[in-house]
Structure 1
Amino acid sequence: MGDIAKDIKSSFKSDKLKALINLKYTANWLNSKENEFFKPYGISPQQYNILRILRGAKKQVKVQVVKDRMIERAPNATRLMDKLCDKNLIERTRCEHDRRVVYVQISEQGLALLTNIDKNKNLSFLEKLTDLEALMLSDLLDKIR
């Protein structure tokens, strides 16, 4: 099992400070793992998030809805969607009545990619947690926010 004090060769003035540093360190570690995981699929974690949102919507939605639902609020969400369109993973449609409004929906190719990603169980680090520990961790993170 990891130990943040040993990993970063540091001591902490309080357990709360240690928890904060550990949370930030772990978030960075998870981001790195996430980037590694999605690289073979040719998408970024943020693009995966957009595809996941669109799959859940089950219909075309406004671009702004996608932006509002993103886990990581990306100021470059439009550019991310442009790249997904270029890869034929999503489809974009302008509103007939208001050209400023743009709708997006996941394509069949995008759904197929997500199905392929869903089959990949390469998240072994999550297996270190029991279901109860995962629930407790989620509850603690909710409490912090």
Structure 2
Amino acid sequence: MKKTLQHELKRKKPFDRPEQEAILNIMKTSDQLQNRYGRLFRQFDLTSSQYNVLRILRGEGRPLPSLEIADRMIQVVPAITGLIDRLEKRELVVRRRCEEDRRVVFVEITQAGIALVEQLDLPVQELETELFGHLQERELKQLTRLLEKARTSMT
């Protein structure tokens, strides 16, 4: 039997509207994904947000202003400065003030930060396969397209 959200939540009645069911499904799935990724990152003494910063910086390959990093984050982080503080304390990133505009702070990933992200590459890939490997490529593309379409009303 197919396990539906109504069954998982032990709801006696169906959902009031398909929009409600879809949104609750997304929220339930997001929560489960965050928990699984959180467990993985905790093994490396990182949070999901810290990993995200390191991933962004490695992918860019150059220092970025802290506010640009905040704009690129998967999840909104209200305190990007504190997040970068913790990464800097672990020597995973370094900060430098912009010479032209002292208000701008550039953040650069260190070799230790790159090494840590590289160490996570395979475990992250394995987790992605474990979580979504049962879906066909066309289903993954459809899911991506639908989620992107759903987000268009939120911007």
Interval containing the TM-score (normalised by the shorter chain): over 0.9
Aligned to 2:9: 8
Pick from 57, 60, 71: which aligns with 1:57? 60
Q: Deviations over 1:98-121 (max 9, x none)?
A: 322211111000100111100211
Aligned to 1:128: 134
Are 2:26 and 1:23 equivalent residues in the alignment? yes
Instruction: Please give the residue correspondences for 1:62-81 in structure 2 after superposition, counting only pairs within 5 Å.
Output: 62-81=65-84
Higher mean alpha-carbon deviation, 99-108 vs 119-128, is at 119-128
TM-score relative to the length of structure 2: 0.87
Q: Give the whole-Å Cα distance in 2 for the aligned partners of 1:91 and 1:126.
A: 35
Higher mean alpha-carbon deviation, 105-114 vs 54-63, is at 54-63
Equivalent residue of 2:102, what SS?
A: coil
Higher mean alpha-carbon deviation, 39-48 vs 89-98, is at 89-98
TM-score relative to the length of structure 1: 0.93
Structure 1 vs Structure 2: percent identity of aligned residues?
Answer: 33
Unaligned runs of 5+ in 1: none
Q: Which runs of at least 4 in structure 1 moved beyond 3 Å after TM superposition?
A: none
Pick from 36, 43, 47: which aligns with 2:46? 43
Instruction: Report the AA paired with residue 120 of structure 2.
Output: I
| Alignment coverage as a number of residue pairs | 145
Unaligned runs of 5+ in 2: none
RMSD: 1.4
Deviation (angstroms), 1:20: 1.6
Are 2:129 and 1:140 equivalent residues in the alignment? no
Change (3 A) 1:96 1:6: same
Equivalent residue of 1:32, what SS?
A: helix
Q: Give the whole-Å Cα distance in 2 for the aligned partners of 1:97 and 1:24.
A: 43
Deviation (angstroms), 1:42: 0.7
